[in-house]
Amino acid sequence: MAQNLRAKIPRTDNLVIFDQNHEATRKFVEGMGTAAPGDKGTGVEIAGNSRDVAEKSEVIITVLPEPTHVKSVFGQILHPRLPDLPALPSSSSAPNRLFIDCSTIDPTSSTDIANAVHSSSPARFVDAPMSGGVIGARAGSLTFMLGCPSHNGSGNGKLLKRVTPVLELMGKRVVHMGGSGAGLAGKLANNYLLAVSNIATAEAMNLGIKLGLDPLQLAELINGSSGRCWSSAVNNPIEGASPGAPAENGFEGGFAVGLMRKDLGLAIKAARASGAELELAKRAEEVYEHVEDSEGMKDFSVVYRWLESRNVGATLKMAK
């Protein structure tokens, strides 16, 4: 995501980055041609903390694992009150900061953070969780689910027009779902489906292979038939079925099992709060708990390997 931002924003703009994983930021700036904190030679600067990023930036994009992390970071950013940005050369007034949170958290927490931002500083906050995984992030093909007020009368129509081009620097599709928290509501529904379809894909591949089918032929069949889904086509757990998928690298990288388990938990919590029935949720949650215990932080498609390890009996041999 950061690479796409740096490649697509004007060369005169500066990209300020911060991550708790200092090794990750070091590798990123080395790849851009500078490793010195504060060096703006290639338009990339390493900040000392999240508050430092906010003080130096007009648009701030946050991507964090858990609701507690997002609340903690915004607590650091907003207190004490952020200083105003300097006025633009073409205007006598300073621009308002724009906070775009791409984390997957619960809608209630996000709305609370939005209220805190709007009440403590002349800034705007939107939720814009994303879909597409590590592959989509690298390719700049992510889908963003945007929660942003769009009604006229308070400048919110302008806010939507301001946010969308920023997200399009990192993705191919921006879907405006509604007001504050609506992007996250869409993301939780999407990721519930993803959690279940990932398990179903692993089961279907495992079943076909145990019945004696060639794995790559089976993947080709599914992806040309009604069973096709993202987990079968883009993130297939069989090596060679989806070029570039984590299965080709021992399930390293990608979307960690623990994050999938977290998102599923958020969807279940939201379903309970709204009265929505999720028949497959409990068993899916149990599966991801077992897989995380046995496989650690591998990509969530490693469910297939966990299933394979539980197989019993001989694999059938199909006549050629």
Catalytic residues: 187
Q: For residues 40 and 255, give the distance between their C-alpha atoms in angstroms, rounded to a whole number.
A: 31
Alpha carbon of 111 to those of 116, 145, 190: distances in Å? 9, 15, 19
Instruction: State both tokens at 116.
Output: 């805190």
From 50, 78, 59, select the one nearest 14 (Cα to Cα): 59
DSSP letter for 278, please.
-
Distance CA 141, CA 224 (A): 22
Q: In 3D, which of 244, 231, 240 has the Cα closest to residue 302?
A: 231
From residue 233, how far is each of 136, 170, 222, 242, 291 by CA, in Å? 13, 22, 8, 6, 22
Burial class (CB in 10 A: 0-12, 13-18, 19+), 278: middle
Largest CA distance in the chain: 79
Residue whose C-alpha is closest to residue 36's, from 46, 28, 27:
46
Take residue 255 and report the two structure tokens written for it.
Answer: 């979307």
240 bridge partner residues: none
CA–CA dist 158, 156 (Å, integer)? 5
Q: How long a stretch of residues is the chain?
A: 320
